[in-house]
Structure 1
């Protein structure tokens, strides 16, 4: 090849690299912030600031978080929403709204209103003495006003319009409310209760839309019948996944997808996506070694059979040495490594439309 041809090819490669990098940067700018509603799967520490026992702001929680800090996240490290934020070239962790140490400049790039123990049903939040979804939406209204004061109305409106809104909620309505407490179960069959919850999910998305949300992701339920606590409390088949619970999750997900489709037809200018997590977690549980895991039946904390939240802290000395080998960190919540796998799944499927 002649030198002029080599030079031409060299500059062509540089040009391609330049435009590829520019495209990546442009894609990163498509989402201004990650704004989160939900339960302990996405609570970044809001429960630290309310009177509830549902907290994770003590060891061994956070043992693999940056600096080994127990932020209030119910895991050994980061959550799905943290990995999603990072993927959009935003901060590597999403701040908790109630944490007074964060400035409005930090909250402008992402904020979590989530509360561990809450659900779509207001009764679920009452049982755990945590923040109901309705109050999370009220905090969002307050947040919008703070943004306008801190960043100016024009910039605030742009942040709100271009933000990615994530809902991750619903499991507690079954494992904290419907199955263990004989109240909703006397009012609804499991199938009827799913439909009731989907109505509440639909209403919450519409409320967020009315407040300015346009890019919205609603996360489906994982197979919560396979969490260690469900296995431990499975009286029919001790140690095995509770298939009744898993069937409820499947029905919930099917109705949620139908609701998302209807929302897209009803909400002008909005794009609502359903994030499927059931299959990836099921695949991990079925073949853990394929994903580098060694233990699917126990959480890393304590005996791993029933410990979560404050009980997890009581048995800190029993916590495993390497949480990356465990699918779950405590008896309910995934390990950071599992959250990363789920985040990658969501980013490569549901969220591609926003990339």
Structure 2
């Protein structure tokens, strides 16, 4: 039986991460499939005519080649650290011409910066791979895999794979809150008003990143409206996951409160070796929070002491801390178990 791990995302966007892992075999490294937005895009947008790109310096400055890879990071992103833990190569972007032959066995990354749950999210980026299209590409991938290894083996590889999905944050920051009185904000105004009362500030994600501080906060404090949005979204996500587990009669979904890890960074950055969680390493304007990172941007000399790489995205080191929480986090963060525990149980089941 395949298990799914769903994780409420940290930091830049209010997202959900989902992982599917097998509980039946252990002979080979698992294939890894990644769906979602810029937090996990590792280069698909390089092949698209879009403004949502990370293919120019200084993106990738801390990679071995010191060249941009299409990741919205100075180095690795969360899927890279998960691949490391699996003992696998990093997944290639699905649109990469290098994704051929045996490289298909590693899996594929279908993510595209700028996408959301809603098809009208990210329209300002023009040409991006919306979620429905990512899933179509996944079907196409399975046909290509079957041509390589046969239908039965392809089905086994896919059913035993690890799947990571992150989506949802852009629906807030690049749609609902993009401009005042947007079509989506007018559509959901009644729901928002009725739901706002009683929502505390436990989830503080969207309003804390440098981009939102620069654009919405004159005094460097969290923006209450964005906090409320996160506070409405995440508890319902966890509730939905719990409901699905109940229906299936098993812990098919595992929830992670990565929001809390974000709050940890914000409230006590020094505990994680960061000197700041408000100012981006690379950017311009207040908090280095305007625009994306370019060759003309301010650039910090030591990326390891910054929680944010650019106005929207974590540094490589912050990504590593989040991935470690996914793998090894305590019950305060992972419910009902972390990924390493699930993998260990999987090994026991197989033997």
TM range (shorter): 0.7 to 0.9
Output the CA distance in 1 between the equivalents of 2:262 and 2:104: 31
Distance change (3 Å), C-alpha of 1:180 and 1:147: same
TM-aligned CA deviation for residue 244 of structure 1: 2.3
Equivalent pair of 1:232/1:238 in contact (CA under 8 Å): no
Higher relative contact order (CA 8 A, sep 6+): 2
Q: Secondary structure at the match of 2:113?
A: coil
Distance change (3 Å), C-alpha of 1:268 and 1:33: farther
Distance change (3 Å), C-alpha of 1:35 and 1:315: same
Q: Secondary structure at the match of 1:173?
A: helix
Q: Secondary structure at the match of 1:313?
A: coil
Q: What residue in structure 1 maps to residue 188 of structure 2?
A: 188
For residues 266-301 of structure 1, the C-alpha deviation after alignment (integer angstroms, 9 at most, x for no partner) is 458882222321000110111011100012111111
Output the CA distance in 1 between the equivalents of 2:295 and 2:183: 31
TM-aligned CA deviation for residue 247 of structure 1: 2.6
Output the CA distance in 1 between the equivalents of 2:27 and 2:234: 30
For the pair shown, the structure with the greater C-alpha radius of gyration is 1
Q: Secondary structure at the match of 1:232?
A: helix
Output the CA distance in 2 between the equivalents of 1:229 and 1:94: 29
Equivalent pair of 2:32/2:162 in contact (CA under 8 Å): yes
Q: Secondary structure at the match of 1:168?
A: strand
1:325 aligns with 2:314: no
More helix by share: 1
Output the CA distance in 1 between the equivalents of 2:123 and 2:251: 32
Could you tell me the TM-score, scaled by structure 2's length? 0.79
Equivalent pair of 2:122/2:174 in contact (CA under 8 Å): no
Q: What residue in structure 2 maps to residue 252 of structure 1?
A: 233
Match of residue 290, structure 1, among 271, 274, 292: 271
Q: What residue in structure 2 maps to residue 341 of structure 1?
A: 321
For residues 103-146 of structure 1, the C-alpha deviation after alignment (integer angstroms, 9 at most, x for no partner) is 24223213111111111111103232211111111010001101
Distance change (3 Å), C-alpha of 1:234 and 1:227: same
1:131 aligns with 2:129: yes
Q: What residue in structure 1 maps to residue 73 of structure 2?
A: 75
Output the CA distance in 2 between the equivalents of 1:30 and 1:226: 41
Q: What residue in structure 2 maps to residue 166 of structure 1?
A: 164
Output the CA distance in 2 between the equivalents of 1:222 and 1:159: 38
Output the CA distance in 2 between the equivalents of 1:170 and 1:133: 11
Match of residue 179, structure 1, among 159, 173, 177: 177
Q: What residue in structure 1 maps to residue 96 of structure 2?
A: 99
Match of residue 113, structure 2, among 112, 116, 139: 116
Equivalent pair of 1:228/1:306 in contact (CA under 8 Å): yes
Output the CA distance in 2 between the equivalents of 1:28 and 1:243: 47
Q: What residue in structure 2 maps to residue 229 of structure 1?
A: 211
Q: What residue in structure 2 maps to residue 305 of structure 1?
A: 288
Distance change (3 Å), C-alpha of 1:70 and 1:142: same
Q: What residue in structure 1 maps to residue 30 of structure 2?
A: 32
Output the CA distance in 2 between the equivalents of 1:223 and 1:191: 21
1:46 aligns with 2:65: no
Output the CA distance in 1 between the equivalents of 2:46 and 2:245: 35
Distance change (3 Å), C-alpha of 1:28 and 1:239: farther
Q: What residue in structure 2 maps to residue 8 of structure 1?
A: none
TM-aligned CA deviation for residue 46 of structure 1: 0.5
TM-aligned CA deviation for residue 188 of structure 1: 0.5
Distance change (3 Å), C-alpha of 1:295 and 1:242: same
Q: Secondary structure at the match of 2:262?
A: helix
Output the CA distance in 1 between the equivalents of 2:37 and 2:118: 12
Equivalent pair of 1:179/1:185 in contact (CA under 8 Å): yes
TM-aligned CA deviation for residue 95 of structure 1: 1.5
Could you tell me the TM-score, scaled by structure 1's length? 0.78
Unaligned runs of 5+ in 1: 1-25, 196-220
1:143 aligns with 2:127: no
TM-aligned CA deviation for residue 328 of structure 1: 0.3
For residues 156-207 of structure 1, the C-alpha deviation after alignment (integer angstroms, 9 at most, x for no partner) is 11110100111111111111110123110010038559x9xxxxxxxxxxxx
Output the CA distance in 1 between the equivalents of 2:29 and 2:223: 38
